[in-house]
Each structure stands twice: as C-alpha cells, then as structure tokens.
A and B are shown apart, each in its own frame.
Chain A
Amino acid sequence: MDNLFLINRREFLKKISAFAGSTAVVASMPWLKTFSNDLHGKSPNEKVRLGVIGVGDRGRALLLNLQAFMNEANVEIAAVCDNYEPNYQRAINITGGKAKAFYDYRKLLEMKDLDGVIIATPLHEHKRMTIDALNAGMHVFCEKAMARSIDDVKLMYDAHVETKKILQTGHQRMFSPVYLTAIDKIHSGGLGQVTHMRAFWHRNGDWRRPVPKGHPELDRKINWRLYDEYSAGLFTELLSHQMQVANWVKKSYPVSVVANGSINFWKQGREVYDDIACIFDYEDGTQFVYDSINSNKHYGIEEQILGSKGTMELEMNKIYSETPPPPPAILNLINDIEKGVFRTIPIGGASWIPETASNYHGEFIEQNYKMDESKLQLEAFVRYIREDKAPEELTLQGYYSSVWVLLAEQAAKTRERVELPKKYLV
C-alpha cells in the first residue's frame, strides 16, 4: 500500500510540476509554483528541523503524516509540545523519545535551530503561539481556522508580513489532486459561468469528548470546541475549509454574509451552535449557501459548484455536464420499447412533470486518486521552508477564510447582514 501511495504521490508531484509550468494555472494556484522553483532557504542535503505544538487528535495525525515522509524529505521532528499530560506522553511515544518534549511552547521556541513549527492547539491558542513563533524567526504551519477573533487573525497576518516568515494554514484541499484538477477546469471555463455554490457538512454527534473521571475542571480544556470563549464551533471548525474552497473557486472574497444559528438538539451545556445556515454574497452576484448541523449525517459533506455548463461535487470527485452524453443507442432502444410496453395512462393527478434531480451519474474529476492531502500540505510546507518563502496567495486564502467564517458567526449572533470592515482588507 505504501508503495502504491509513493507511486501515486510521485505522479502527483510530476503533475504539479506540469501544472506549475502553466501560466494560467499558476495565476489561480500560485502555491504550486514553488514546486518548480529553485531552493533558496535550505538545500535538500540539510535537515529541516520542525517542532509540533499541540498533539491532540489533529496534532497526532499531522505528526504521523510528518513521520511518513520525514526520511525521504530529510526532515527531523526535533521537538514536541503539549501541556496536557496524556498528549505530552503520546507525543513522546510517537517520536520514540527522539524529539525534545515540552509542556510550555515558549520553551520550545527557545530552540534556536528550529526551522518551523506546526501548531495544532485549540483555536484560541493559535494567535499568541503563531506570533511568538514568527517573532522567534520560525516558519509557521497553523491549523485552521487562524484565530478566535478577527482582530487576532489580522495580528497574525501582520506578524507574518513583518517577519517575512511563512504562515501557512491547514486548508489542505489546496493540495488535493481532485481539487487542483477541479479548480483548473472551473477557471478555464469547464463549468461555464459559476453563479451559485452550495456546501454543507453534516455530522451526527455532540462533539463531546470524555473527560477523565474526577477531573471535571478539564472539561473546557478537552471540549474547547463547545465553548464560545475558545471556538466558534461549526463556523471555525468546519465551514472554514469550505469557505476557502468557495473563495478559491471564485478567485475572490465575499462582500457580505447573512447567517442564522441555533442550539436545537445538543442542549447539554454547549455554548456554540449545533445548527447553522449562512449565505455569502460575492461581488459578481454569486451566492454561496452553506449549512452545517450536528444532528444528522445522512448528507455528510459536500461542496457543489453550479455553473451554466455543468456541476461539480468536489468531495465526491464528480463532474456533471448540463448536456450529459446520451446513453448507448441499444439502451435507448430498450428504454423506448419498455416505455411503449409499460407506459402509464394518466387518469388524473398532476398535469406537470416533476423536475426532480437528473439521474446522470457524472464523470470522475480525477481518476485513481489515492493521496492524503493532509500529508501533501506538510510536504509543501517543508518545500516552502527550503525555499524560505511561500506564495502570498496561500496565506491570503487562510486569512480570508478565517476572517469570513468569523464574520458569518457575527452575522448569526446579531441576525444582521455583515460586511468586511475595511481595516481588515489586506
């Protein structure tokens, strides 16, 4: 399986290089450009030394992803940090005790030979850790969303600009082969004019994680996603990804948002909504309609891009033409014979034909897709470190995605149409 993965990854990198050679593609996906650039930061012979701050569920996944390619990419996981004992021990176990372990991230940042840090802590911690790391001269990969408040997101961005250090956010779809191919098709007119986008993320669960017996004080630390002080819930934890995709598709950012939210199912002490709905309005009139719930998972996750010539369902890796190819003639003939033999004779009822969804099953956007974009984004981060810079558009995607989900939260709380204050334009 590993070999299969490697083969496909190599093919993917080859494809990225081909992509990066195209001016049109680089215009809409400039973060790919680095794959064809010379390295100015560290040569491939020098080790890239990384620290990982926060080894909860996401941090653990990122750590394992790093380990999967660290030898091949000449990366060393030099330090790990978590102030929650089970996670601290987990980090030591995963790294086999080879990485220096810290409870306090500031001690980790004192390691002068670190090239970069990966921050996967609760949302409200992102700002100070990111800014401190950037000021310590390290490149930063910070999990999405960027911060709990728009001011904090802006401060993080400003620190990135001042220090000229990389600030990459964990919006991994930017490195997914399916999304890269899809966006290329969309931007080259494959869907016609994109006038509408729909996305949703539905789960059935309360997001509550078990708290060790006898330690109720740890509830807010472990279940930070449920509390307003630490998280905006569905807005920052889920919408953030799909907001980035919508902006990427439109090569633009919204001009306003209206939203609603409620706690209508999980009422056991959570402070963040378990049911949200938002509409983002883009300058060209495109509407991006979004909803996310915690009480039903039937529809799962999807981003639907609706254009005048076709539709894409990005999570399903599917594209549907508005004029689907006709079925084979022999099947057409059989259908017609069947219709002739078994046709229904209307004797009452509706006189119109219901406009139900098309039965056309579409085509795959990208064939033989087996790669993990979470790993690819980390590989890219290492490449950016070697080059000592990352394309600014990469940071801007993370910035505007983070800003707009927080504006959506504001719209839901105030029940007002919200626009982006000019001071946050970058």
Chain B
Amino acid sequence: MRDLIIKKEILRREFIIWMVLFALSFVLNLFAIIKYNSNWMELITQIHIVLFISLFLYAFSAIVRILYSGLRNLYRSFKKPAE
C-alpha cells in the first residue's frame, strides 16, 4: 500500500478554500438577518450553523473537484495513443 502524502501546499489550498466558504456562509447569514429583519446577535449565536454550512459547502466542493479530476484523468487516458 502506498503512503499518502499530503503536501503543505495542498493543505494551505484546502484551508483557503474552506475559509472562503466560511466567509461566504457568514455573508449568507448577514443577508438572512437583513432579509428577515432578525436580531444582529444571530451573527454570533448562530455561528454553529454558519460553521455547519461552510463544512457542507466544503464537502460539496470536494466532491465536485474529485469528480472533475476523475473525469479529466479518464479523458486523458482515452486520448493517449495506444502503445
């Protein structure tokens, strides 16, 4: 079995992706509070839901990216001339 090596760059990239998604979720909460005329305290009190949404979006983005890279590899293997 091969060892799985996660490079520092990959870790940093994934962290940045999650941070962006967290910021997006936070903005979503901000938008919701304005739209439903809710209490500004929800920016803090509902942070667990924001965190959950960001993790959900991250998982979703990971699935999309894995699917994309899988399809791309498949396409490349078909394009490779037969030896």
Residues of B with C-beta under 8 A to A332? 32, 36, 38
Docked Cα-Cα span, A143 to B4, in Å, equals 72
A326 cross-chain contacts in B, Cβ below 8 A: 36, 38
Q: How far is the CA of A331 from the CA of B28 in the complex (A)?
A: 11
Interface residue? A350 (CB, 8 A): no
A338 nearest CB across to chain B (Å): 13
Across the interface, do A328 and B28 meet the contact criterion of CB distance under 8 Å?
Answer: no
Contacts of B35 in A (CB 8 A): 329, 333
Determine the residue in chain A with the shortest Cβ distance to B41: A328
Q: Are A333 and B31 in contact (CB under 8 A)?
A: yes
Taking a contact as CB atoms under 8 Å apart, the answer to whether B46 and A328 are in contact is yes
Q: Does B59 contact A (CB under 8 A)?
A: no
CB distance from B10 to the nearest CB of A (A): 31
Assess whether A330 is interfacial by the CB under 8 Å rule: yes
| Number of A interface residues in the complex (CB < 8 A) | 8
Task: List CB contacts (< 8 Å) of B24-69 with chain A.
Answer: 28-29, 31-33, 35-36, 38, 42, 45-46, 49-50, 53
Chain B residues near A334 (CB, 8 Å)? Answer: 53
Smallest CB separation, A306 vs chain B (Å): 29
Q: Which residues of A contact B53 (CB under 8 A)?
A: 330, 334
Per the bound structure, the CA–CA distance linking A339 and B65 in Å amounts to 27
Contact between B49 and A328, CB atoms less than 8 A apart:
yes
CA distance A329 to B35 in the complex (A): 8
Q: Which of A330-344 contact B (CB under 8 A)?
A: 330-334
Residue of A nearest to B47 (CB): A330
Given A326-B36, A328-B49: A333 in contact with B42 (beta carbons within 8 A): no
The CA-CA distance from A334 to B29 in the complex, in Å, is: 10
Which parts of A307-327 form the interface with B (CB within 8 Å)?
326
Q: When each residue 238-282 of chain A gets 1 if its CB lies under 8 Å from chain B and 0 otherwise, what string results?
A: 000000000000000000000000000000000000000000000
A residues sitting closer than 8 Å to B (CB atoms) are: 326, 328-334
Q: List 22 A-B contacts (CB under 8 A).
A: A326-B38, A328-B38, A328-B42, A328-B46, A329-B29, A329-B32, A329-B33, A329-B38, A329-B42, A329-B46, A330-B28, A330-B42, A330-B46, A330-B49, A330-B50, A331-B46, A331-B49, A332-B36, A332-B38, A333-B31, A333-B36, A334-B53
